[in-house]
Structure 1
Amino acid sequence: MVKVLRYLGLGAASLLFVGAVLVRGQETAAVDLRRLYAGKPSEWPRPALGEGAVFEELGPLPPRRKLEGKDAALAALGRKLFNDPVLSGSGQITCASCHNPELGFGDGLRTAFGHDRQRGRRNAQSLYTVAWMHEFFWDGRARSLEEQAAGPIGNPIEMAAKPVVVLRRLKRDSAYRQAFAEVFGSRRISSELIATAIAAFERSIRPPASRWDRMLAEGPAVFTDQELLGLHLFRTKAGCANCHSGPLLSDGRYHNLGLTYYGRELEDLGRYGVTHDPADVGRFRTPSLRAVRRTGPYMHNGVFPTLAGIVNFYNAGGVEERRTQSRTDPKAPPPRRDALLKPLELTPAERAALVAFLETL
């Protein structure tokens, strides 16, 4: 019974009550979970957190700001550029090639294809929550959305465009000349203004309304018993809330799960490539789980096609790297798996419940 009570993650005042309920059977326990999650998120059972975790209470996204006037025109210009192959060297690739709104603003591939069918080494991340983020790409190398928007255009593996060629194309287009003049007050077109417009469009993107949003607004009656159990596991026994919290369901920090392929052909040193800090070897930014059922495959290298696979991976406690020498950088020491990762001992029913909850997000 003590183990069960710890699993529930409840305050002392609730322990005897919940214990008495649990011994009456599983059906009554489900009813009790509905009572526990009936209030505001701040009143829910406390999360079970490991040492070093940074938690922000779960909650709804900020309300959408209505775009009007020049703000709306700027976002519209950004949308047009986002979907225009004129920004690519070949004239055949768009931003939407890797961030397709019909595929959760990703591309549904393990890793993305770019110029001349070159395959990148990382999964194309969804853009659903970029409006509220402060660092971008899996390794956080971009510090603004404008910097992120400009990055793929000149990348030789992605869109492979020369800025002078892109600008020449846009300046020859009377519709673009007029649109830039209306938005920026001048017919001047520059790489910086292109990035500004695309970033404005990306900030207008929001994830679709979900049953999770309804649950936050209307209470646990929206969820099935299995989904509600999954939420509880997310906050407690499964340890998901250690890294996935707040309205974005991400702590915005960098963690090593053991998927760097250190010392092997597919090695990716992650955040270390930006900071060159030995502690950052193998660390990648925690993605948002908003609309996660739409944004597979998963992880920085897209190695997991399903949410069930992800849950099984975490249930095993991640992967321990065994190689001792980097394949790509002799100065990069062996990565250390994040201390928050531990075997979870989730039952098959608990793993199924966790997947059911994730599919509501």
Structure 2
Amino acid sequence: MKSLITLLLLAAPWLAQADCLQRLTSPPDAAGYTCLRKAYAQAPEHWPTPHVDADVQWTELGPLPERAPSPAHNPFSEAKASLGEKLFFDPRLSRSGQIACASCHEPDLAFADGRRVSFGHDRAAGRRNSPSVVMSGFSEHLFWDGRGGPLESQALMPVADPLEMAFSTEELVQRLRASEDYPNLFAEAFGDAPLNGQQIAAALATYQRTLVRVARATRFERFLNGRSDALSDQQLHGLHLFRTSARCMTCHFGPSMSDDQFHNAGMTYYGRKYQDLGRYEVTGKAEDVGRFRTPSLRLVSRTGPWIHNGLFRELTGVLNFYNVGMPRPKPAPGMENDPLFPQTSERLHVLGLDAEELRALRSFLDTL
């Protein structure tokens, strides 16, 4: 009996907190905001359990490390990071000598480019939006369709892409070996081995892993690191919605705020203008039609326009679409048995958030 009483006493604060969270109004009243403050003043591992599907292997939100983790075959060094930074901003990596990595990943735009789709060699327009690379060091499946693999594998792919830099690794190596500045810099970073493409990729990857510093200078990061006053009442409400009614943590969790997986959000435009089959173009699997990699939500309010083709110019529009469960296209006559007709992910539900809740959610996203 005594042990039962002890357990009840220990559980009482948690039960009271759970009860007040269940009774939140929209917007919360003063008591509701007090309840939220108490719930989220704790360490993240003690925050209210998120609303996600039972099979989602989610991890808790948390502060970011100083830099993204480096693989054993490419350990971090300041010399490599410095060399990678120089390469990232150098237009000599392109055939024309006019396009650098930073042309599509601009520091002032959170290392995105602010365009619906990016342009490259001879001003040729691509077909997909250029995402921020700030969090690229946390992904094993770079590019929207995941064809790039991790950073070392992806780094030189834009160099050889005819719509981007329209060059080749072999020609780039020759150009850098013949330059006045690069041979010594590569020797400092990699020793006596001849300058080669693998070194270029390793340096670029090392630099990009340091870009996480941009995402660490945010209001939400201060909150995660113990500044409980860093979020306003509305932003705190948005955080709670993000974890619960808005179901955002179904795909956006962990310090990187991405599951690094592929989902069909109903934006394939199958059989119409803007059609993009996404992951299917890499795997050839029918179930991958229209699936795209989950982007990190770090810095999301600064990296528009949004989705894989940049068709959303307002973040509020994205939230409105998710609130109604995203599009679920129906086959046109004659397409009923089409094995490639895309299926919107069952992870996406109609949310039914009201206008105040959507404003709170948007306010929270602005802190990321």
Where does residue 6 of structure 1 map in the other structure? none
- Give the conservation status (yes or no) of the 8 Å contact 1:270–1:282: yes
1:48 to 32, 51, 54: 51
Q: Counterpart amino acid of 1:26?
A: D
2:298 to 283, 290, 294: 290
Distance 2:69 2:347 in 1: 40
* CA-CA distance at 1:158 after TM superposition: 0.5
What's the CA shift string for 1:131-150, capped at 9, x where partnerless? 22222111111222111111
What's the CA shift string for 1:323-342, capped at 9, x where partnerless? 46999xx9861111010112
1:322 to 330, 333, 347: 330
Question: TM-score, length-normalised on structure 1?
Answer: 0.89
2:113 to 86, 107, 118: 107
- Aligned pairs (5 A) from 1:172-321: 172-186=178-192, 188-206=194-212, 207-208=214-215, 209-321=217-329
Residues 1:270 and 1:21: Cα distance change in structure 2 (over 3 Å): closer
Residues 1:350 and 1:60: Cα distance change in structure 2 (over 3 Å): same
Q: Counterpart amino acid of 1:133?
A: S
- Aligned pairs (5 A) from 1:67-216: 71-186=77-192, 188-206=194-212, 207-208=214-215, 209-216=217-224
Which secondary structure state, in structure 1, belongs to the residue aligned with residue 154 of structure 2? helix
Distance 1:272 1:11 in 2: 46
- Give the conservation status (yes or no) of the 8 Å contact 1:256–1:283: yes
* CA-CA distance at 1:235 after TM superposition: 0.6
Question: TM-score, length-normalised on structure 2?
Answer: 0.88
Where does residue 357 of structure 1 map in the other structure? 364
Quick check: 163-172 or 137-146, which moved more?
A: 163-172
- What fraction of aligned residue pairs are identical, expressed as a percent? 44
| Structure 2 unmatched ranges of 5 or more | 1-12
- Give the conservation status (yes or no) of the 8 Å contact 2:67–2:211: no
Distance 2:319 2:68 in 1: 35
Quick check: 116-125 or 150-159, which moved more?
A: 116-125
| Structure 1 unmatched ranges of 5 or more | 1-9
Which secondary structure state, in structure 2, belongs to the residue aligned with residue 55 of structure 1? coil
Which secondary structure state, in structure 2, belongs to the residue aligned with residue 284 of structure 1? strand
Quick check: 152-161 or 308-317, which moved more?
A: 308-317
Distance 2:296 2:334 in 1: 29
- Give the conservation status (yes or no) of the 8 Å contact 2:20–2:32: no
Q: Counterpart amino acid of 2:89?
A: N
* CA-CA distance at 1:228 after TM superposition: 0.7
* CA-CA distance at 1:62 after TM superposition: 2.1
Which secondary structure state, in structure 1, belongs to the residue aligned with residue 60 of structure 2? coil
* CA-CA distance at 1:195 after TM superposition: 1.2
Where does residue 7 of structure 2 map in the other structure? none
Where does residue 3 of structure 2 map in the other structure? none
Distance 1:228 1:194 in 2: 43
Q: Does 1:340 align with 2:308?
A: no
* CA-CA distance at 1:14 after TM superposition: 4.0
Residues 1:326 and 1:113: Cα distance change in structure 2 (over 3 Å): farther
- Give the conservation status (yes or no) of the 8 Å contact 1:211–1:222: yes
- Give the conservation status (yes or no) of the 8 Å contact 1:325–1:334: no
Residues 1:332 and 1:191: Cα distance change in structure 2 (over 3 Å): farther
Residues 1:354 and 1:17: Cα distance change in structure 2 (over 3 Å): closer
Residues 1:22 and 1:15: Cα distance change in structure 2 (over 3 Å): farther
What's the CA shift string for 1:134-182, capped at 9, x where partnerless? 2211111122211111110000001001333322221221211111222
